[in-house]
Amino acid sequence: MRLPRQQAFVLLLVGAIGCSDSVGPKLPVTFNLVDINGRAIPTFLAPTPGLTPTILFASVTLDNEGKALWLEERREFDGTQTSIRNTFDYRIMFNRIEIGSNMPCPSNANCIGAFTGEISNEKLSLNIQSTDAGPIVYNFRTIFGLTPF
């Protein structure tokens, strides 16, 4: 049996797409924060009036089961250092990523909200929060071989 040229082309195209590398990184992978809105780390969270925390370090590790481990070190405006560690669910669709939690944040916890952004083999860019001055975007780079899970 012979396939018409159009069907053969479609089968060839589907096969090529299925065999190509995906846009996202090979999992598990860890990304370390390099800047916030282009400002190198350590830097203030946002250019807002009043006191704001300084972000000293942050990383995101994506595992094979759809879990993202978020680690962050901050120096609060009063000088105390705070560590944040949360595990979230994540979903990657092409070069887009959504990170969020299905669990409500306890009122006494220092929680991070849900994020959306772009992901590739080497970079992760997440919109952490939108303010009147615009979005706060965390830009990460891949760190190979580190998996704190």
Supply the DSSP string of 62-110, one letter for each residue: E-TTSEEEEEEEEE-TTS-EEEEEEEEEEEEETTEEEEE-SSPPPTTS-
Tokens of 90: 């994540």
Residue 13 lies in a domain: no
- pTM score of the predicted model: 0.73
Domains of the chain: total: 1
The CATH number linked to 55 is 2.40.128
Is position 6 within any domain? no
Question: Is the CB of residue 73 less than 8 Å from the CB of residue 83?
Answer: yes
Q: How many CB atoms lie within 10 A of CB 33?
A: 24
Strand partners, 33: 140
Structural domain includes residue 15: no
In a domain, 137, yes or no: yes
Any domain includes 65: yes
Q: Which residue has the higher pLDDT, 12 or 111?
A: 111
pLDDT, tens digit, for every residue of 6-52? 554 444 444 444 444 455 688 899 999 999 999 999 999 877 777 88
For the cut 70, the answer to whether the pLDDT of residue 108 exceeds it is no
Q: Is residue 10 part of a domain?
A: no
50-100 residue pLDDT tens = 788 899 999 999 999 999 999 999 999 888 999 999 999 999 999 999 998
Say if 18 falls within a structural domain: no
For residue 32, the enclosing domain spans 24-143
Asked whether residue 2 is domain-assigned, the answer is no
